[in-house]
Amino acid sequence: MAYPLAGRKILIISPQQWGDMMVSKHHYAVELAGRGNQVCFLNPAAPELPRRLMVERHPQLENLSIVSHRPYFNRDLRFHLRPLYDLLMRIDTRLLRRSLRRSFDVVWCFDPNSYSSLADFGASRIIYQLVDQFTEPAAHGPAREADLIISVAKEILDRFDAVPRPKLLVNHGVATSFVDRAKARLAARDFKPKAGERVRVGYAGNLLLPRLDVATLGQIIVESPDVDFHIWGNHDPPSSFVAELRRRPNVTLYGPVSADKLAAEIQSMDAFLVCYEWWKDLNGGANTHKVLEYLSTGKVVVASRISSYLDSSLIQMSTREGNTDLVEIFRTTITRLDGLNRAELQEKRISLALENSYARHIDAIELALDARTDT
């Protein structure tokens, strides 16, 4: 019998603020709240807050609260005196819990750096989910307490081989906004290309991200004047690369948008891009959540190396260090769009995305929690 993640009081600890550009922890919070859980989404500590604690109700979901808090001590201590930092964090955690005036059944932590222990939150279940590689040994502390360790990449889970706790490999998820449109497209068999229009290529992501391969992405755009590039994501404050993109007549920058808006606007794309310097990245190009959002449209994806999809025939992928063949792969893909976006392949891409909805992931996590269920 699964441990039901419904009717619970759940604290989600996030290393990213709540905002328009939502990633996995935000989507899990929304899905869990939709299942009747009382969910608190804990933003990373913000020293600039005017008050110690600020709790805001989500405008659409009454049982989802966004919690912002000011730390009692300088968190930079983590980089200099970790043992003292850990002691102060345990005190800070207890004070925060007391200020919230509520108990939790589940603590679901996505932050591998801030906590060496989650026990002081007092929850009966601890879920520890990592979507990125980590550098600090203290990240093993919460893993040793966890009822379940989750990651999107085998390379990350392997680092917990010596921790005798249940583990689960779970891909990135697809939010309801994308799932609903994917189901509608499948039902309508809406796979026909828009004849006579210019090719539209989408990119969603932070344009200021250090691992973004701006040289290759820029070359693709410059050498494809026949293609219109539509880019969603943060570009402020503008870098020299962003400034150059703004000068390109075939580029439209939208900035960060909500998941609902992104899901609606990417439907008209003919292809998508992923372009990272994976060989310099701590994650080694293991996975990225945007791929499944792209695939939910059915359209082809051109990508730098993503190890989780190396065996997939649904993505046109470079595996060369330096992305030395990615420009060529992109141009070849554009000339073969009719074949690469044929109905059969679009159905397969959409089906793969639907297999990875957040709803399905939570179902799998409920079952995995059976490894330690005593209620």
Domain 9-173+357-372 has CATH 3.20.20.140: no
Instruction: Spell out the residues 6+ positions from residue 344 whose beta carbon is closer than 8 angstroms to its own.
Output: none
What is the spatial distance between Cα 133 and Cα 173, in angstroms, rounded to a whole number? 18
Find the helix or strand (DSSP H, E) in which 68 lies. Answer: strand 64-69
The reported pLDDT for the residue numbered 195 is 61
Where does residue 241 rank: exposed (0-12), middle (13-18), buried (19+ CB within 10 A)? middle
Residue with tokens 């007092």: 122
pLDDT over 50 (residue 118): yes
pLDDT band at 372 (very low <50, low <70, confident <90, very high): low
- Are 281 and 211 within 8 A, CB to CB? yes
Average pLDDT, whole number, for the chain?
Answer: 90
Asked if the model's pLDDT at residue 192 lies above 80, the reply is no
Two domains, one topology: 9-173+357-372 and 176-354: yes
pLDDT at 374: 44
Q: Which single residue is written with the structure tokens 């859980």?
A: 37
What average pLDDT does range 341-368 have in this prediction?
95
Residue 133 has pLDDT above 70, yes or no: yes
Sign of the CA dihedral with 270 first, then 276, 279, and 282 last:
negative
Q: Per-residue pLDDT for 214 more than 80? A: yes
Given CATH 3.40.50.2000, say whether it is the number of domain 176-354: yes
pLDDT at 263: 94
Is pTM, for the whole model, over 0.75?
yes
Interacting residues of 5 by C-beta distance below 8 A, sequence separation 6+: 32, 35, 37, 106, 362, 365, 366, 369
- Residue for token digits 């390109």? 248
Q: Does 1 have pLDDT greater than 80?
A: no
Domain boundaries, the chain: 9-173+357-372, 176-354
Segment holding 215, helix H or strand E: helix 214-222
| Cβ neighbours of residue 270 closer than 8 Å, sequence gap 6 or more | 193, 194, 199, 200, 201, 299, 300, 337, 341
